[in-house]
């Protein structure tokens, strides 16, 4: 589905709180995705080598990971709106500073790392608010819709960033900051949804003892590990098979298309089927695809396998976050989503640093290592992941239908 169709549907008749949240996320993620092809060029122009580029990219990721859990607790204490809006204002200001492009490289790297801090605070607030605005038993569908919105941003954003870089590479940061600040307009319509504090203290929220949180968190760690490995390895893998940079970028865009087409239906299946069977199956399919890549040479076959992998991926993140949302107490959803984000971004750091480095040792090692992590997570999820909650009957607590016609994919 072309991204403009997603935009047109979000502009439709629905004006629920979840609609405004998703609209804001679409605008913001489009701007953030504009940085993906430009950040290494930005560092290189300032005289940074490969190590400086790695630190410039890894710094925000590490900061994002470390902030997740404390930010999640803060979201439960002071509310979703202050963090949703405040963190994005900080991100936008830092983007403007990077666009101005004044100062030594180390200072610009500090600004970029602080962006990771603000993003790490934003994620649990976003996920907690989306959970609050979702009907129990239908959260898989809601998280799938957010996944589709982000895929639309991924299709649009890098092209915008690449075009802006023709003028100056720092212009992508200007686009990112402007998009994030613009996205605050629809998000300002999202009401505060934090549940009243109960006598149970937030400090006593022992998430590691809750099967519905720790098990999907392990699954998110595996998902983050393998897909951040692709960020590092995939361009090298396709280039070694004689493909151009254009083909490499096209392959990434093609991966997003099945997710856009199937996200809504995949979310519905996640809510209706037994997740203890659905999630491990999707993980095993993804693992099999990853393990096969080192043996493939023809581009058409590689892209076909990637399409199968994208279809399996549709079921993973929405199902795992939905389980966390269903399990977390109302007044600890921010903390629970922070735990999920911590494991996912921690896995991303692991995959990029460890598995990415293994490509220099042997081409197949990162693919097979990522597959092994997914297989282990599939076993854990098959044994212990809670099943889906059935959709409840009767009126919803929050009127949050998406602005789409029945039967259409997001």
Percent of the chain beyond pLDDT 70? 88
3-class secondary structure, 197: coil
254-277: pLDDT as tens digits = 888 888 888 888 888 999 999 999
Percent of the chain beyond pLDDT 90? 52
Torsion of CA 331, 337, 342, 343, to 10 degrees: 120
Decide which of 347 and 57 is more confident. 347
- The whole-angstrom separation of Cα 92 and Cα 133 is 26
Rg of the chain's alpha carbons, rounded to an integer?
A: 20
313-344: pLDDT as tens digits = 999 999 999 999 999 988 899 999 999 999 99
Decide which of 98 and 165 is more confident. 98
- The whole-angstrom separation of Cα 12 and Cα 164 is 30
Asked if 142 contacts 50 with a C-beta cutoff of 8 angstroms, the reply is no
Asked if 324 contacts 270 with a C-beta cutoff of 8 angstroms, the reply is no
Q: What is the pTM of this model?
A: 0.83
Task: Please say whether the dihedral angle defined by the alpha carbons of residues 286, 299, 58 and 157, taken in this order, is positive or negative.
Answer: negative
Mean pLDDT on 66-71: 94
| For residue 11, pLDDT beyond 50 | no
Task: Domains for the chain: give ranges and CATH numbers.
Answer: 1-6+14-193 (1.20.1250.20), 210-389 (1.20.1250.20)
What's the mean per-residue pLDDT of the chain? 85
| Residue from 166, 207, 39, 180 nearest 122 by CA | 180
DSSP assignments along 57-94, one per residue: HHHHHHHHHHHHHHHHHHHHHH-HHHHHHHHHHHHHHH
Residue 245, C-beta contacts closer than 8 angstroms, at least 6 positions apart: 235, 239
């Amino acid at each position: 589905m072309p991204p403009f169709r997603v935009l047109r549907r979000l502009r439709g008749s629905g004006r629920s709180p979840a609609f405004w949240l998703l609209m804001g996320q679409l605008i913001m993620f489009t701007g953030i995705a504009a940085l993906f092809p430009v950040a290494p060029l930005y560092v290189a122009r300032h005289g940074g080598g490969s190590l400086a580029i790695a630190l410039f990219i890894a710094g925000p990721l590490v900061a994002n990971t470390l902030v997740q859990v404390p930010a999640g607790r803060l979201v439960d204490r002071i509310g979703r709106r202050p963090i949703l809006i405040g963190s994005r204002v900080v991100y936008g200001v830092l983007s403007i500073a990077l666009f101005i492009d004044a100062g030594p490289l180390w200072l610009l790297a500090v600004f970029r790392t602080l962006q990771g801090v603000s993003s790490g605070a934003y994620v649990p607030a976003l996920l907690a608010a989306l959970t609050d605005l979702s009907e129990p038993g239908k959260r898989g569908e809601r998280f799938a819709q957010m996944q589709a919105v982000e895929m639309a941003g991924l299709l649009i954003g890098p092209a915008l960033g690449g075009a802006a870089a023709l003028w100056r590479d720092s212009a992508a940061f200007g686009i990112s900051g402007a998009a994030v600040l613009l996205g605050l307009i629809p998000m300002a319509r999202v009401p505060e949804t934090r549940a009243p504090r109960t006598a149970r203290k937030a400090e006593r929220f022992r998430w590691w003892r809750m099967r519905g949180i720790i098990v999907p968190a392990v699954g998110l760690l595996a998902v983050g590990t393998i897909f951040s490995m692709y960020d590092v390895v995939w361009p090298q893998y396709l280039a070694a098979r004689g493909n151009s940079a254009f083909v490499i970028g096209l392959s990434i865009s093609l991966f997003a298309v099945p997710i856009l087409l199937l996200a809504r239906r995949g979310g519905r299946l996640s809510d209706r089927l037994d997740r203890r069977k659905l999630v491990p199956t999707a993980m095993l399919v993804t693992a099999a695809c990853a393990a096969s890549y080192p043996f493939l040479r023809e581009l058409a076959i590689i892209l076909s396998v990637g399409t199968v992998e994208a279809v399996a991926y549709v079921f993973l993140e929405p199902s795992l976050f939905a389980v966390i949302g269903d399990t977390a107490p109302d007044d600890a959803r921010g903390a629970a989503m922070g735990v999920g984000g911590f494991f996912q971004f921690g896995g991303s750091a692991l995959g990029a640093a460890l598995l990415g480095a293994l490509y220099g040792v042997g081409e197949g090692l990162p693919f097979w290592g990522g597959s092994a992590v997914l297989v282990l997570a599939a076993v854990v999820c098959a044994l212990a992941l809670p099943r889906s909650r059935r959709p409840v009957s009767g009126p919803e607590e929050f009127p949050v239908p998406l602005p789409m016609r029945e039967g259409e994919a997001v």
